[in-house]
Amino acid sequence: MKIWSIEGNTQKLDGGAMFGNAPRAMWTRWMQPDELNRIPLACRALLVQPVNGKTVLFDTGVGAFFDPKMRDRYGVVEERHVLLDSLAEAGFSHEDIDVVVLSHLHFDHAGGLLREYREGQPPELLFPNAIFLTSRPHWERANHPHARDRASFIPELPGLLEASGRLQFVDGGRSDILGDAVRFAYSDGHTPGMMLAEIHGPPGPDGKPHGGVVFCADLVPGRPWVHLPITMGYDRSPELLIDEKTAFLADKLERNVSLFLTHDPDIALVGLSRNERGRYEPVNETEKLSGRVLA
């Protein structure tokens, strides 16, 4: 298998919202805000080929579906659909994708499913040959959001996915269409039913897969969030998220699994270590993946 990091449209969001209850004096050591207190964020996807004979895209970034007013509100920088350009740079088009794995349906992870904004035209689904995978609990959340997170979802998207006839749900740790190379875990701290996909080779002597890459989605959106107490203001249950992250990072460190980061503005992939104080730290940072062989 080979892996590519596929850059999508970038955003600028309020630093205080992105770092929850962490004081500004702390988070500005990691990311410098602009004059509006916004920090730069990537919206990065992961492409893997072949997975059980399929070309698979994990998430699609924010895309360019917003109208100009909403694009400005949510700090989306580019007007064009950057994900499509990045796929082309890697030698693919959206028609080549066989499976799109959606960790969750917040607009900054699923908006790239839609064609770029055209005045007076309804939203249109891209990826005409892809099966769309997500979790059933999160699908329920997307269709019946809480008032607190309703703005994070695209109202038209569930209907478009259903109408495609190509929506499928992952139940448990495995999907038949992806086979044994991808296993799934779930997190509820950011949003109910968020899927965490781990792509790996054969299991080791202990029966567990070692090495490989895990798509962190919004459990660990970038390097600063490797620190256990750091959460986002967008997380529905910060204490639960910290508990989930504690178990998640311990497992990935033990099995030498690398972390794929969707929102880090500079780095796509990191390994993990723990310092003398027991704190997790990102190591072996990789800015971009261009067909790297997955060991």
Tokens of 279: 């704190």
Q: What is the pLDDT of residue 203?
A: 73
Other Cβ atoms closer than 10 A to 78? 15
Q: What is the pLDDT of residue 205?
A: 76
Residue 111 pLDDT more than 90? yes
Contact by Cβ (8 Å): 189, 240: yes
Other Cβ atoms closer than 10 A to 209? 18
23-46 pLDDT tens trace:
999 999 999 999 999 999 999 999
137-178 pLDDT tens trace:
999 999 999 999 999 999 999 999 999 999 999 999 999 999
What is the value of pTM for the model shown? 0.96
Instruction: Provide φ and ψ at 291, rounded to 5°.
Output: 75, 30
34-92 pLDDT tens trace:
999 999 999 999 999 999 999 999 999 999 999 999 999 999 999 999 999 999 999 99
Contact by Cβ (8 Å): 57, 6: yes
Residue 275 pLDDT more than 90? yes
Other Cβ atoms closer than 10 A to 202? 9
DSSP-derived pairing of the beta strands 213-215 and 131-135 = unpaired
CATH of 2-293, one of 3.30.360.10, 3.60.15.10, 3.40.50.720, 3.30.70.2200: 3.60.15.10
Element (H, E) at 27: helix 24-27
Question: Of all residues in the chain, what percent carry a pLDDT higher than 70?
Answer: 99
172-226 pLDDT tens trace:
999 999 999 999 999 999 999 999 999 987 677 777 777 899 999 999 999 999 9
62 CB burial (10 A radius; 0-12, 13-18, 19+): buried
